[in-house]
Chains A and B, each alone.
Chain A
Amino acid sequence: MLKTFPKGGVHPAEGKYSANSAIEVLPLPKQVSIPISQHIGAPSKPIVAKGDKVKVGDKIAESTGFVSANIHSSVSGTVVKVDNVLDSAGYKRPCVIIDVEGDEWNESIDKSTDLKKEISLSDKEIINKINESGIVGLGGATFPSHVKLSVPDGKKIDVLIINGVECEPYLTSDHRLMLEKAEEMLIGIQILMKALSVNLALIGIENNKPDAISHLQNLVKDYPGIEVHALKVQYPQGGEKQLIKALINREVPSGGLPLDVGAVVHNVGTAYAVYEAVQKNKPLFERVVTVTGKSVHKPSNFMVRIGTPVADLIDTAGGLPEDTGKVINGGPMMGKSINSLDVPIVKGASGILIMPTEMAKRKTESTCIRCAKCVSVCPQGLEPYLLNRLAQLEKNDKLENGGVMDCIECGSCAYTCPAGLPLLDYIRLGKSRVSQIIRSRKQ
């Protein structure tokens, strides 16, 4: 019996077309636009100006607080300007725009591919290094990693959980990383264990990646304290709370953090980035991005420099198919469609999904038939049909009592709704209203 979370969940068609495409290094773009806010928390402050020469790995924007992250140049060249550029939601956000000239790396970066197993830094130094390297959660939430590693006084962490679930259909970036960079990733996990001073790390992987599971199971024999667990294929297995419940059977309290149950969760991509930063002195300026879809000519996984326009990735993957309804940043469940292909790849971008018109269409809305399917699939045990209605009626106090703040926005309810109601859209709206109220109450 495979481990899984006990409540709800759905199983959409997997569509992992790019699972067998090895990670390719994407050719350098002509120009990159690197947003100064690619993480949750305070936007960084640009420290370069027009005309400055930068090398790969040079810091171009400084973190402005504890919950913030440094940003490094992903290319070498000249800064054209610091200006507003469209982000994936179509709003203009400040970016550092750099013209690419050659590929000259900062001297301090170790460009060799040799495996470096010895961890020479102390736990404090590791956290500093991760902070300095601008590492954020690469699973998509982009929460600055050093914050998760700085355990507040009085909290005791006893287990590190590594998220290799990749429960979003279509995406394969973490899958490929686990196959191709497994040793680096495992050393990264050891570094994270040292930083947290824990002796146990559990890697959770959905059972639809048997090659990654067996590959890692062979390798972990040399890495004491690290275990690999196969998990049932069930969305949202990769949700932080669901993964903790599935692996160690602990429940994160409402409004609480994994810290409260003695666990810290990091993504496999983050573990790899930590290895690169700590062992090779390489800040986070590139990541693996899947470009996929039913109609894509060459579904691929690319190692992409941050700031590369989405159009470059799609061109390399065989160009935009003629019948394209939506281009989605992320997976089909939680991703959002973008309205311009000039949008730059950011730290949190795990995939670009191209949907044909027919598949991209929303279901026609009808009325709720009270079938309670949404209730049975909600992994958080909420009543989406009710929250949806309360949000429409702006009954904010009832929404709060109904646990709207516990919603993880996985979209299982909207996926399963036979009436095609945009449940998540309204719940998310209600959630943002309630969170504003809660914030104003605290002031």
Chain B
Amino acid sequence: MSATILFTIISLSAIGAIAAIILYFVAQKFKVYEDPRIDQVEEILPAANCGGCGYPGCRGFAEALVKADDLSPFYCPVGGNETMAQAADILGKAVEEKDPQVAVIRCSGSPAHRERINSYDGASSCAISSSLYSGETGCQYGCLGLGDCVDVCDFDAIYMDQETGLPVVIDDKCTACGACVKACPNIIIELRKKNKKDRKIFVSCINQDKGGVAKKACSVACIGCSKCFKVCPYDAITMDNFLAYIDPNKCKLCRKCVAECPTNAILEINFPPKKVKEEKADTPKEEAPKAETKETNENETK
């Protein structure tokens, strides 16, 4: 009896030992050298695997960073400048600071402003709705309100406002990965520069119809009147197809255009309420804005 057990133990141990030796040599033979810095870089990346950098996951991005000579085309929107600086440290390369961005919704067409002229009962997806027809309102450009952007957001940074039927971006959670920008079939969402104190001025409309048609469909549409274009002291505004666009890189947040817009299509967000002589020194060149008090649209979009 004991001989059988002994024999079993010896033979199994022998097999184990032989296998270990073979495996050791095989492992040596087929060893793949991997730059240890890839692991180090991956370690500091946010592990969100969102694809916002343009690579398949954080590992892919880390590999690309290690391989690259110049880090300037790379940016991890989730980790931001801090993560990029750490990665550059590990790799011994230089990296420039980039302006952090945030997604903004360029449509204010809530039911109060934009009348529903029909009802859609198909599959609950913006992509499908837009492939079938122009949507429930008279505006063929605006938000369809079915929430494709909410579905793709990995960071829970967008939700649908039940009252307005429009998506709302939670700026603190938004990492500017750009998933929602790609998901929106009408390309309403744009990544814009996150200014100091998250202040933003943008045209919250992408309607390219002539003024009358746009206004008829939605009372807060950009009607292409060019008033903002004329008033802007920094040439930040361009007019194209009856639509104004504010270049975030040229805009100095002087807020002159906001007061000028006859349809309130230009939104100012996170600014203190306007009062004479109380403007902060953000825009030193500008004289204090006129006393024309206009309600901040903060409540509507924030």
Contact = CB atoms under 8 A, between A and B. Distances in A.
Interface in A77-122: 86, 89-92
B242 to A, nearest CB: 12
Given A422-B123, A425-B123, A426-B123, A339 B131 contact: no
Contacts of B132: 89, 336, 425
B131 A429 contact: yes
B127 A429 contact: yes
A337 B127 CA distance: 17
B133 A422 contact: no
A199 interface: no
Given A90-B133, A428-B131, A432-B131, A339 B118 contact: yes
A89 B128 contact: no
Nearest to A83: B210
Given A90-B140, A91-B140, A92-B140, A362 B121 contact: yes
Contacts of B128: 422, 425-426, 428-429
A155 interface: no
Nearest to A360: B121
Contacts of A337: 133
B125 A339 contact: no
B117 A339 contact: yes
A367 to B, nearest CB: 14
Contacts of B125: 425-426, 429
A89 B134 contact: yes
Interface residues of A, number: 16
A439 interface: no
Nearest to A88: B133
Nearest to B136: A339
Interface string B105-147: 0000000000001100111010110011111000010000000
A90 B135 contact: yes
A441 interface: no
A432 B131 CA distance: 9
A339 B134 contact: yes
B122 A91 contact: no
Contacts of B135: 90
Contacts of A361: 121
A374 to B, nearest CB: 15
B268 interface: no
Contacts of A90: 133-135, 140
A422 to B, nearest CB: 4
B123 A336 contact: no
Interface in A408-427: 422, 425-426
Contacts of A89: 132-134
Most B C-beta atoms less than 10 A away, residue of A89, A361, A425, A426: A425
Most B C-beta atoms less than 10 A away, residue of A86, A89, A90: A90
Given A90-B134, A336-B132, A422-B122, 20 more contacts: A89-B132, A89-B133, A89-B134, A90-B135, A91-B140, A92-B140, A92-B209, A336-B133, A337-B133, A339-B117, A339-B134, A362-B122, A425-B123, A425-B125, A425-B128, A425-B132, A428-B128, A429-B125, A429-B127, A432-B131
